[in-house]
């Protein structure tokens, strides 16, 4: 009988989802590859999904309703919705709209919260006390697993 493998959990903030679904960032292909082969498990709470849906609908993104639906469908296909939870030991975010991201990361003991938001990034040291890394895509890319290891599978 083999020991079960624990797959690292990730939370992505809205701006990182925008990079995945609409724009691009040089870290996204690696993130997508790791998710596709089951090396990471991305989770989100319903409130995060609702925020992304709201952001995608904003006129300045110029996305058609069909493009918005496709982006949200892709999010649901690559990430897993989890019930909203408040962690036993919380970290307060200065922006109440961002609180759900840090709460979910702490409550589910995620390995990494990827963010482009300064309010969330300012919580790095407090989240680290609970073994949650809050980092930018660039910082993650600099230390993420090599895709060469994925090719060997």
pLDDT score, position 148: 38
Q: Which residues contact 12 (CB under 8 A, 6 or more apart)?
A: 20, 42, 44, 79, 113, 114, 115
Rg, the chain, Cα only: 15
Q: Is residue 81 within 8 Å of 11, Cβ to Cβ?
A: no
Report the pLDDT averaged over residues 28-45: 94
Average pLDDT, the chain: 89
Report the pLDDT averaged over residues 139-153: 62
pLDDT score, position 150: 42
**Chain segment 54-101, per-residue pLDDT in tens:** 999 999 999 999 999 999 999 999 999 999 888 777 788 888 889 999
């Amino acid at each position: 009988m083999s020991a079960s493998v624990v797959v690292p959990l990730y939370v992505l903030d809205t701006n990182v989802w925008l990079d995945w679904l609409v724009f691009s960032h040089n870290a996204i292909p690696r993130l997508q590859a790791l998710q596709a082969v089951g090396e990471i498990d991305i989770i989100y709470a319903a409130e995060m999904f609702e925020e992304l849906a709201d952001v995608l609908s904003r006129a300045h993104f110029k996305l058609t309703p069909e493009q918005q639906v496709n982006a949200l469908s892709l999010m649901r296909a690559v990430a897993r919705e989890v019930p909203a939870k408040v962690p036993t030991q919380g970290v307060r975010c200065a922006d109440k709209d961002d609180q759900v991201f840090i709460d979910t990361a702490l409550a589910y003991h995620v390995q990494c919260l990827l963010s482009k938001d300064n309010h969330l990034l300012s919580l790095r040291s407090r989240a680290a006390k609970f073994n949650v890394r809050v980092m930018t895509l660039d910082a993650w890319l600099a230390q993420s697993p090599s895709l060469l290891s994925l090719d060997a599978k």
